[in-house]
Each structure stands twice: as C-alpha cells, then as structure tokens.
Amino acid sequence: MQERGTDAVRPEDRELRPSSDRPREVAAGRHEVTLIPGDGVGPEVVAAARRVVEATGAPIAWDLQEAGETAFGRGIATGVPPETIASIARTRVVLKGPLGTPTDGGEKSANVTLRTYFETYGNIRPVRDLPGVPTPFAGRGIDLVVVRENVEDLYAGIEHLQTPGVAQALKLTSRKGCEKIVRLAFELAHAEGRATVHCATKASVLKLTEGMLRRTFEAIAPEYPGIRAEHIAVDTCAHQLARRPERFDVIVTANMSGDILSDLASGLTGGLGFAPSMNLGDEVAIFEAVHGVASRHAGRGVINPTAMILSAALLLRHLDLFAEADAIERSVLVTLEDGAVRTYDVAGDEGAATTEAYTEAVVANLGRSPGHAPIRQRSPLRMANQRRAIDFVRPTRRRVVGVDVFVETALGPEALGRSAEGLAEGTPLALKMVSNRGAKVYPLDGGEPVVDTVDLYRCRYLLRDAEENPEAELDDGAILDLVAEIARYYRWVHLEKLQEFDGEAAYTLAHGED
C-alpha cells in the first residue's frame, strides 16, 4: 500500500525550522552545555571528556545537572529531575554519561525519557577502523555510520498481555518519522562526503511498518542525486557487516534494527569503549558513549574513555567548533596509533593504563596528526526542514470494510470458526477467516496446517458486499452489535478496524489467507 496524499499539504502546515538555528551561546561567546555525569563509570568518562575539551580551549560553559540512579533514589519516577529538563530546554545541547535504571521496579529508562521528551529522533553512531586496536577486521578501512530512528518502532514500549500466556507489543511506524530519519541520513552523507546510503528493513515480512520506511526512502532518494541509494534486507545487512563491512557508508534503519546493527558494527572495530553517539532532534542534541554504566568497573580507574571523548568531539562539531573537534579526533588517533598508552579493554592485565593516564596522553597529543589513519573532511550537518502537520498523510478516499476481533478461548480452531460464523448471521458482516499467531487456521481448504495454537485467536469479519459495492462502508453500530454478540460467549480482547485508503487495503493478510 502506498502512502497517499503526502503532496496535499496546506500552506499553514508547513511550519519550517530554519537550518541555521543553533544552540544558544552565553556571555563572552561561550556555548552553554548541560553536563550529566551519569551512573557507574559515567562520572569517570565524563570527567575525561571534559578534561580533553577544556584542553582544546573550546569556549564551553558547563551546566552540571543530575539524572539516573540518584534521581530515581529521590523518588523521581522518570529519573530526570525538572531542573535537568529546564537546563536542557535552555542550552539545547547535552553531554551525558550512561544512566542506570532500577531493575526491580516499574520505572522507565531515563535515557528513553530524554530521547522522547526532546524528540531526538535520530541516533547517529559512527564506526571506523582504529589504529592500534586489534580486531579481526583491523586494516579493512571500515568507516560507516548507522543512523537509527530513535523514538518509534517497538521502543515506543506499548505492550499488553492479551491473555495470561500471550503478550503483544505494538510496532509503531509513522510516515512523518520515516521522512525525518531518512532525510537526516542523506543530509549526514552529504555533510561527510559519503557516496552511499543503505536503507535496511524487513519490508518483505512487515509490509506496512518496515515497508513504510522503505517506500519513504525510495521516494526521498531522488532529492539527493549525488548519493547512491540502496535498499537492503536488514538480515542481509547484518550478514554483510560480518563479511564485508567496508562496503557500507551510511545505514539508515528502524529503532530496534538500528540498536542491534550499531552494536554489531562497533564490535567490528574494538567494542563499545570506542563507540560514540549523538541523539539528534530539531531542538535538542544529546551526546553520549554507547556503553552502559559498567558498575563493576566504577571507581577503579580502568574504563576506556575513548567513546565519551569522541562523543564530545561530535558535540563540538555540532556547535560549529570544527577545529577543536578535529583536534580531539586526531589526538585520539595519534594516541591509539602510538600504542604506548592502552586501556584495560585493549591491553588486558599487562601494562594497562588508567583512565586518567590515557586521558592525559590524549591531551598531550593535541596538535598532532596521525601518520596513517585517514581523516574525513566534514561540513556542517544541515537539518532538513520538516512539515509539522499532525495528519501528515491525507487520503482522498477512505472507508471501513471490516473488523478483526481478537478473542480469548481454549476452543480448537474448527469449533471456534463455526461458532464465529454463526454469531455474524443476520449482520452486514461475514466471517472470512480465523487466525492464530498470524496463521490462518479456519476455514481450511486442503489439509490441516501444523499450528501449535494458543488461547488468542483473531476472527476477521468483512462486509458481505464490500467488493460488489465499492461505496459500502461498515458503521460503528454494526461493529458494536457484533462485539456484543461475541461477548455473550467469548472474552474479547481488542478490535482492529479494517480500512481502505484510496482504494487500497490498509491491513495485511494472515499466513495462508487469500
């Protein structure tokens, strides 16, 4: 199904954000940055990054704030205090250590809270070959960026137990979200002089959600004629990352796929200790190392601060402080290339440098350039203007043609199917099929499939004359009457209206359904 109506945009809906809008500066030309030390090893790596940034002479004014475990301990359910929110709203740029979330309560992740509250919809994870870091892929010239959609998909965290033994998670994908992340990927490729953007999806199976990302990518790609655009199945992408990672430049993908692929990619070049990232939105940018709190190493002075130091370089580049950012990147490469000062994750127990000693080596190497590691030339990343309409896609025609009713029962498929057919007699609806775990189990035309059924079924009802009468539409009253009848015999769980937009079905078929 195509996303229709995207060109039918009223002028008042085009609330465009100037691409020149930048985080505010404080007095004397200094940029104010919210600084969150975080939990576990967070304070150590954040202190290292701050030490390196200040050694460059970058005009930064830090605003120290709190989030994570200490905030949870004070009874703040989100893990993010109001004063921290206020600071970020003011500065619009954050350097943040890893944040912990209690595992024995109902608290939401403070990291996810920050991403969703400030709509940092793009997670950018650069990965490159690093000198002096031994891996099976060393010397292959890996230099890629994973651009991960950061606020939608399964990470919206909308879950339900449908029955005591069947759980559901809603995978939410919007055309607006797809356009934002796809444009960001192409703009990043343009700013960094990259040749190719791959869009990694599972559109072959998830035709509406993952398919929406693929269709959006293919619709927007012609706006960037100088960049090659290629779609790739996400499983093929993972396979190729493990075989020929040097073929990739930019990979744009959905939230969960991006989470997995970006960790895989960082593993190719040395692990999470070397993996910087930024969470980028139209209003706020949050910079952080990818690794977690690593509490077992906290306070020991052995953690590798490279990921946080490189995240700080990304922050400086975001503030148009390119000279300072490039100086940090070069210094890290020189330090790794020299190999005299190596942290525990690289050197092991023998001769490992402390976090502080490694940081001081990076500071001492400021102003030097690596002998062999290439340096990519970059220009400012331009945030593409986005439409602000809430009803982002407007079809010209729409109608409801049926309803899926999910019911809980221990009956077998044949007994339920015959009963569900009878319950629709005398209504505008007719049972088309019954499915279980996505597979059609009633009616069966040729042999019984091997389906290990559970106690959650989907009963699909369609208008009896929907195909013969393209103007016919199912009204809510008929749906409610049917559900009331079903409820006399079964515990119904939820409903999904079956719609058509511009004459195309806005729902998928069960496996085995025609």
Assigned domain for 512 exists? no
Do 147 and 194 fall within a single domain?
yes
User: What tokens does 169 get?
Assistant: 């998670």
Examine the fold and report which residue of 225, 241, 261 is the final residue of a domain before the chain moves on. 261
pLDDT for the residue 104: 66
- Is there a domain that residue 171 lies in? yes
What region, left, alpha or beta, does residue 173 occupy, with left being phi > 0 and alpha being psi -120 to 50 degrees?
beta
The answer to whether residue 497 is domain-embedded is yes
Q: Tell whether 240 and 276 lie within a shared domain.
A: no
Looking at the structure, tell me whether residues 113 and 166 fall in a common domain: no
Q: Are residues 403 and 333 both part of a single domain?
A: no
Which of 349, 380, 411 corresponds to the end of one domain?
380
Q: Are residues 327 and 241 in the same domain?
A: no
The answer to whether residue 387 sits within a structural domain is no
* 442 lies in some domain: yes
Looking up residue 333, the CATH number of its domain turns out to be 3.40.718.10
Position 17 scores a pLDDT of 37
Same domain, 256 and 291: no
Strands 285-289 and 122-128, how do they pair?
Answer: unpaired
Say whether both 481 and 416 belong to one domain: yes
- Residue 203 inside a domain? The answer is yes
| Residue ranges for the chain with pLDDT beneath 50 | 1-2, 4-21
Backbone angles phi, psi at 374, to 5 degrees: -70, 150
Task: Work out the angle between the directed axes of helices 306-318 and 42-55 (0-180°, nearest 10).
Answer: 50
457 and 365 part of one domain: no
End-to-end CA distance of the chain: 16
Residue 126 lies in a domain: no
Q: Which of 222, 245, 261 is the last residue of a domain?
A: 261
Give the total number of structural domains in the chain. 3
Q: 146: which residues sit within 8 A by CB, 6+ positions away? A: 123, 124, 125, 127, 251, 253, 258, 261, 262, 265
Is 275 found in the same domain as 252?
Answer: no
Q: What is the CATH number of the domain that holds 179?
A: 3.40.50
Could you tell me if 105 and 179 lie in one domain?
no
Statement to judge: residues 339 and 446 lie in one domain? no
Judge whether 133 lies within some domain: no
Query: Are 60 and 114 in the same domain?
Result: yes
**What is the C-alpha to C-alpha distance for residues 32 and 35, in angstroms, rounded to an integer?**
9
Question: Domain span at residue 481?
Answer: 398-505
